[in-house]
Structure 1
Amino acid sequence: MKFKLFDIYLYQTLFVLLCSLLSSCEDFVDVEIPEHKIVSETVFNDNTTANSAVVGIYNELFRSYFSGGGRNSTQVLAGLSADNLRTIILDDDLIEYEQNKISIQNSSNLNLWSSAYNIVYMCNAVLDGLQKSEGVSAEMEVQLTGEVRFVRAFVYFYLVNLYGEVPLILTPDYRKNALASRNTIDEIYSLMIDDLENAVAVLGNTYKDGERTRANKFTAMALLARVHLYKGNWDRAETLSNQVILESQTYELLDDMGRVFLANSKEAIWQISPIGSGSSLAHTKEGNLFIILENPNYATPVSLSNNFVESFSKEDARLTSWIHTFSTESNTFYHPFKYKVKYASSGEITEYSMVLRLAEQYLIRCEARTHQGKLLGAIADLDRIRERANLSLISNIAPGIDQKALLDSISAERRRELFTEWGHRWLDLKRTGRISTVLSPIKTSWQDLDALYPIPEGEISKNPNLTQNNGY
């Protein structure tokens, strides 16, 4: 994606304005802000600046702890909480995630929480500004509102699945936000579904400038399919994922697995670009953190667990294409290699961080069909994933597979296909009720209450209406 230097400066300026509109970019609510009218007149006086404010939200997704792919990201922390990643340096915050004994003072947890809510606040500020603006065209307002509501739903999906009941913040009013109490999980899912249905209804079918970094109709539809899968609405999950899969002019399950995570890959439904850093860096944070080329250090604190690597059969193409090794005199470390670029200080950006991709939609449709007893269609979906991975087809080796065995196979394929992508394994274990069964034999101090992360102590101390999760 190519930007003029002026554009980058404009996005950075608008981001600062948005941060001032919120109370703080890192704290829940702490610092007084200027009057909203001043900021809204500056940011929403015409289509160009309003559009740039929304681009600023997308850019913040790359910078944010929550979504950027670095050491405090959902990708890393949820991977450690499950059984896919392990720590390979002494880092108390990360070790607490691996051992599922997260303290309420854990700084990684605070970074995860506060940066996610920062994006929520930015979304609310833009939505409020768009609604009040007289300078933005009606068509542009509808488009930008759909995109921002998609991003807000995306962030809340992770907040509710990582922390359980959380405050449902729908306004940039810091006075109300400072005393917000926790909402029920059903209330949060209701908001997500409403936001995503709006986005599906108003967004177009194409990507702006061919860049898959902004939401379109099918981006929202893909996330809505996942939401309905988590809610157990099997028919809706099947219908929505099916619509995305059928959009074959735009999306394709790539046979060349080395090309899946490239910028604007045809498998990508939504990606985050490193352009959001506002610098010349041309690599993803996932590539920089996961790829191990020297003795493990602060920059490379995790590797794949032996348990996870051993779950692959030798012929699985994902084992050779998406996993590499680094060996010292005493250890061999298996590291993710979905992203091939570790560090690039400048040059062409060849990889974007993958957020939503077509393979997940096949797995969603497969699982939804299985729960409805549509086993032949489910097997066909699972075989599409297995065929690409060079594995024997279920239709050949177990054509009479029953529902329970097929669900077990889906779980195994989701783990191998989606590893290090947005905490899928951790969330899958929780939503399917298997988390204690799977983790208690390998996590020596596992307790059922460990399935939720703690609300950061600093947030509770500032808000008397904010309660803590059980067990903390």
Structure 2
Amino acid sequence: MKNKIIEKAILTIAILLCYSSCEKLVEVDLPINQITTSQVFESTSTADGALSALYAEMQSFSVIAGGSTGAGGLLGSYVDDLDGYDVYSNNASMDLFNNIQNASNTTVKLVWGNGYRQIYMANAIVEGLEKSSGIPEKDKNRIKGEAIFMRSLVYYYLTEIFGDIPYTISTDYSINQSLSKISTTEILQNISQDLSTISPFLETDYRNAERIYVNRKTINLLSAIVYARLKQWNLAEDLLSGIITSPLYSFPQDLSKTFKKDGKHILWQLKPIYANTATPEASLYNFASGVPRYYAASENLLASFSTADQRKTSWMSPVVSGQKTYYKINKYKTITANTDEYSIVFRLQEAYLIMAESLAQQNRVPEAVNYLNAIRNLSGLGNISGTISKDVVLEEILAENRREFFSERGIRFLSLKRNGKLDILSQSKPNWKIFHSIWPIPVSELALNPSLNPQNNGY
């Protein structure tokens, strides 16, 4: 970890909005046009500006971003949903697609560095709020809650991708320069505790009608995902029930409206930074002709859809090039003059499928099937019988997760890992090895902080 941290927390709104270089864990250099902590946190409006910078960072460079740095493409091609074609990336993302990554892989380094930069930003916001005397307590709690939520989401992804990792809630160089790893279970427990603490800080109602800021239900969904990962199925069920029964949420009647910004099935979405521009997802996956620039649907993914499944025709399109047909992902369709699509992070369908999984894991198969069928029916598929076995319904939930969420947030990787099924990828990915369940810690980080040793197994 390269930790040239300034002991007095520095937040620079302008620099954070455009800061995109791949730095080491929690490194922030002092910019020329600095704004000190006391200036940033002198009022609610200036503190909200710092929070907006974090939201912008999540949209542009985080693991949940819809572009080339995000889990949708990176983890989607790492498993068997997407084929990679990004030959211009110095082979870093292609090595992930081919499952031959090593500890010097620049994309692996980027994911690590971006993640810990966002964690630093969230920690700086929390520290600044705690020192502020000019912001009302209610506003402090709201801003703190949203920042800690985003920190928790990044930690969740980092531990799923890298396994045991450092956990810090500080911006102090003397603390962060020699942090050791803690176990994935400890990370998840810390996330769970953080989310439980901040849940009362946010209202259930959205503070913006476009749902571009997290609310209490968004916190509950991430909490349920973490509980499911910890196999605390009853706790996940309780939170999911509150989401599913909330009058805030309902499914779109038209499948083609799933990725429109005004859907009532959306829990949280990220607005494009520049007005009228395409979402990062639309830019990443759409191609008009020739070989795909980045990704296309894999044959394995295509084969998972039945002819009755409307998602294949609604969310993918064939592109013929010579003798080959590629299928582009066009969940997001608006390329120019975009006014109707934002990047959806969490949607109601995920709550239903994790609820189905939680119920099945508690041996309540008929109840689980009801939630599974609700998702199947949205895409034109018929009901599955409630008399099937637990093992069969869990397999169907995994398959439905894949068909529903391909190219979104790396959900196939996450759901396979949660169910201990990642090694089925050896059937479709020639280079897949057991140790590929996690990525290597970047070699540069090990050199800077020997406390991160040992390297992950296999690397």
TM category, shorter: over 0.9
Aligned residue for 1:8?
Answer: none
Give the C-alpha shift of residue 267 in structure 1: 1.1
Q: Counterpart of 2:427 in 1: which secondary structure?
A: coil
What is residue 48 of structure 2 aligned with on the other side?
Answer: 51
Distance 1:217 1:74 in 2: 24
Q: 1:369 aligns with which of 345, 359, 368?
A: 359
Structure 2 letter corresponding to 1:78:
L
Which residue of structure 2 aligns with residue 4 of structure 1? none
2:134 aligns with 135
Q: Which range moved further: 152-161 or 177-186? A: 177-186
1:408 counterpart = 2:408: no
Q: Say if 1:66 and 1:113, in contact at 8 Å, map to a contact too.
A: no
Residue 268 of structure 1 corresponds to: 266
Superposed CA deviations along residues 355-375 of structure 1, whole A, max 9, x for unmatched, are 110000000111111111222
**Partner AA of 1:354 in structure 2:** I
Residue 118 of structure 1 aligns to a residue in which SS?
Answer: helix
Contact 1:72/1:109 (<8 A) preserved: no
Name the residue aligned to 1:433.
Answer: 420
Q: Give the match's secondary structure for 1:45.
A: coil
Structure 1 residues 149, 89: closer, same or farther in 2, change over 3 A? closer
Q: TM-score, normalised by structure 2?
A: 0.92
Paired residues for 1:317-336 under 5 Å: 317-336=310-329
Once residues 35 and 211 of structure 2 are traced to their aligned partners in structure 1, the CA distance between those partners, rounded to angstroms, is 33
Instruction: Summarize the alignment of residues 381-420 of structure 1 with structure 2, pairs less than 5 Å apart.
Output: 381-394=371-384, 398-420=385-407
State the match for 1:207 in structure 2: 206
- Per-residue Cα deviation, 1:428-450 (whole angstroms, up to 9, x for no partner): 222211111x1112222321111
Q: 1:17 to 1:384 in 2, by over 3 A?
A: closer
Q: Of residues 384, 390, 411 in structure 2, which corresponds to 1:424?
A: 411
State the AA in 2 paired with 1:261.
Answer: F
CA distance, structure 2, for counterparts of residue 221 and residue 31 of structure 1? 31
Deviations 1:280-332 (A, max 9, x none): 452111111111212235xx211110011111000101111111111111211
CA distance in 2, matches of 1:161, 1:207: 29
Q: Write the distance in 2 (CA, Å) between the matches of 1:262 and 1:38.
A: 37
User: What is the distance in 2 between the residues matched to 1:428 and 1:413?
Assistant: 11
The CA distance in 2 between the partners of 1:188 and 1:332, in whole Å, is: 43
- Aligned 8 A contact 2:359 2:365 in 1: yes
Q: In structure 2, the residue corresponding to 1:363 is in which secondary structure? A: helix
Alpha carbons 2:68, 2:74 under 8 Å: kept: yes
- Segments of structure 2 that go 5 or more residues without pairing to the other structure are 1-10
Q: Please state if 1:80 is matched with 2:70.
A: no
1:176 to partner: Cα distance: 2.0
Q: CA deviation at 1:13?
A: 5.6
Instruction: Indicate the residue corresponding to 1:354 in structure 2.
Output: 344
Scaled by the length of structure 1, the TM-score of the pair is: 0.90
The residue correspondences of 1:68-467 to structure 2 (distance < 5 A) are 68-90=65-87, 92-247=91-246, 249-275=247-273, 279-280=274-275, 282-296=277-291, 300-341=293-334, 343-344=335-336, 347-394=337-384, 398-436=385-423, 438-467=424-453
Deviations along 1:163-203, one digit per CA (max 9) or x if unpaired, are 00111021111332222111111221121111211232221
Distance 1:15 1:451 in 2: 37
Tell me the secondary structure at the aligned position of residue 324 of structure 1. strand
The one-letter amino acid of 2:210's match is E
Structure 1 residue 123: Cα displacement: 0.2
Q: Once the two structures are superposed, what CA deviation does each residue of 1:69-115 show, in whole Å capped at 9, x if it has no partner?
A: 22222111111111101113535212211221112111111111111
1:67 to 64, 67, 75: 64
Q: Is the 8 A contact 1:225 1:236 kept in 2?
A: yes
Q: CA shift at 1:38, angstroms? A: 6.5
Q: Distance in 2 between matches of 1:310 and 1:331?
A: 16
Alpha-carbon offset, residue 386 of structure 1: 0.8
C-alpha deviations, 1:130-163, integer Å up to 9, x for none? Answer: 0011111111011111111111111111001010
Shift, 1:25, TM fit: 6.7
Return the alpha-carbon distance in structure 2 between the equivalents of residues 424 and 82 of structure 1: 10
SS of the counterpart of 2:296?
A: strand
Hey, what does 1:41 align to over in structure 2? 38
Deviation per CA, 1:198-228: give whole Å up to 9, x if none.
2322210111131211111101011111111
Aligned equivalents of 1:220 and 1:65: distance in 2? 18
What secondary structure does 1:270 align onto?
strand
